């Protein structure tokens, strides 16, 4: 570095006539254009390439769902895929379904004061399971008194979004969460309610009471 410091730090920019020579000190000092070496391909690497290719064939053979145009499942339809699925723990399934409810009833089940009724300690949740299932199946509109408070909003019907097992699971979940300690809801209850009123529109407070008393 010492020898460099002795040299001048700057130079004058070249004038047009000897521009070519002086301007391109950078191009003149650089190394020649790159060349190719000719080392052989490592054998180990060729083996790795071979293994990857074999794996690719295996994966395509196993997970291509028989190459059908409308098969969504990556496994070909076999005995394993066709068998009945094991029943799920309703508390786990219910918690998963409950994610759809948190927008109104909130993650803690306390609802929003004046807008959405709470599930915690609610007489509807902890009361008659048939009435509770009916609310989920068809939804409910208009005024509704929960825990002495009057609410006026709309709960949508869930019959087209979830099957009986899922609705039963979420009911079981809300009946034993947020401090509630009521028992589980059987799938058959939801099934029966769906058969009875599933074709109707949303309930109101009056028609719900009528339905619950009918029994």
Partner 1 sequence: MSEEALEMAPQGEAVSRIEVDRSAEWVVTIYWASSLFWLLIATLAGLISSVKLHSPDFLGSYEWLTFGRIRPVHWDTAIYGFGGTAASGTLLWLQARLCQTRIPFPALLIAGGVIFNVGVLLGSIGVLMGQSTGVETLEFPLYAMPLLVIPYVFIVIANFRMYFTRRSSHTYVSQWYLMAVTVWFPILVLAAEACTNLGAVDGVAQAVANWWYGHNVVGLFATPTGIAAAYYLIPKVIGKPIHSYHLSLLGFWSNAIFYNWAGTHHLTGGPLPAWTITVGVVGSMMMFIPVITIGINHHMTMLGSFHHLKTSPTLRFAVMGSMVYTLSSFQGSLESLRSHQEITHFTHYTIGHVHFGMYGFFAPLMFAMMYYAMPRLTGNEWSSARLIRIHFWCTLFGTALYAGAMCWAGIRQGQMMNDPAIPFLNIVAFTKPYLMLRTLAGLILLSGTIAFLINFVRIVQPHKLRFVTPTLLNTERDYKLLLEKEKELKQNDK
Binding residues (CB under 8 A) for partner 1: these are 4, 7-14, 17-42, 45, 48-49, 52-53, 55-56, 59-60, 63-65, 67-74, 92-93, 95-96, 99, 102, 107
Q: Contact 180/118 with Cβ under 8 angstroms?
A: no
Determine if residue 148 is left, alpha or beta; phi over 0 gives left, psi from -120 to 50 gives alpha, anything else beta: left
Give the nearest distance from C-beta 120 to partner 1 in angstroms: 15
Q: Which one, 22 or 191, has the nearer CB to partner 1?
A: 22
What secondary structure letter does DSSP report for 24?
A: T
CA atoms within 13 A of residue 15's CA, in its CB half-sphere: 1
CB of 10 to partner 1, least distance (A): 4
CB of 6 to partner 1, least distance (A): 12
**Phi and psi torsions of 61, nearest 5°:** -65, -35
Least separation in angstroms between residue 78's CB and partner 1 is: 14
Contact 51, 134 (CB under 8 A): no
Residue whose C-alpha is closest to residue 119's, from 128, 127, 110: 110
Smaller CB separation from partner 1, 40 or 148: 40
State how far Cα 174 lies from the chain centre. 21
- Name the minimum Å distance from CB 71 to partner 1: 5
Q: What φ, ψ does residue 207 adopt, rounded to 5°?
A: -65, -25
Nearer CB in complex with partner 1: 34/148: 34
Give 44 or 199: the residue with its C-beta nearer to partner 1.
Answer: 44
Q: Closest CB to partner 1 among 31 and 80?
A: 31
């Amino acid at each position: 570095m010492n020898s460099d410091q002795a040299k001048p730090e700057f130079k004058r920019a070249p004038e047009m006539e000897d521009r070519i020579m002086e301007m391109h000190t950078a191009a003149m000092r650089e190394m020649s254009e790159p060349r190719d070496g000719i080392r052989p391909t490592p054998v180990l690497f060729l083996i790795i390439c071979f293994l990857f290719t074999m794996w690719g064939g295996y994966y395509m053979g196993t997970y291509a769902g028989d190459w059908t145009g409308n098969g969504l499942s990556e496994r070909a339809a076999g005995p394993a895929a066709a068998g009945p699925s094991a029943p799920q723990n309703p508390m786990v399934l219910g918690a998963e379904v409950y994610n759809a409810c948190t927008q109104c009833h909130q993650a803690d089940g306390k609802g929003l004061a004046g807008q959405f009724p709470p599930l915690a300690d609610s007489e509807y949740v902890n009361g008659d399971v048939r009435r509770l299932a009916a609310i989920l199946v068809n939804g409910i509109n208009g005024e509704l008194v929960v825990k002495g408070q009057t609410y006026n909003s709309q709960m949508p019907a869930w019959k087209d979004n979830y099957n009986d097992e899922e609705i039963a699971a979420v009911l079981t979940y809300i009946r034993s969460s947020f401090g509630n300690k009521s028992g589980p809801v059987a799938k058959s209850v939801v099934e029966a309610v769906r058969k009875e009123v599933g074709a109707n529109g949303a309930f109101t407070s009056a028609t719900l009471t009528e339905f619950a008393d009918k029994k």
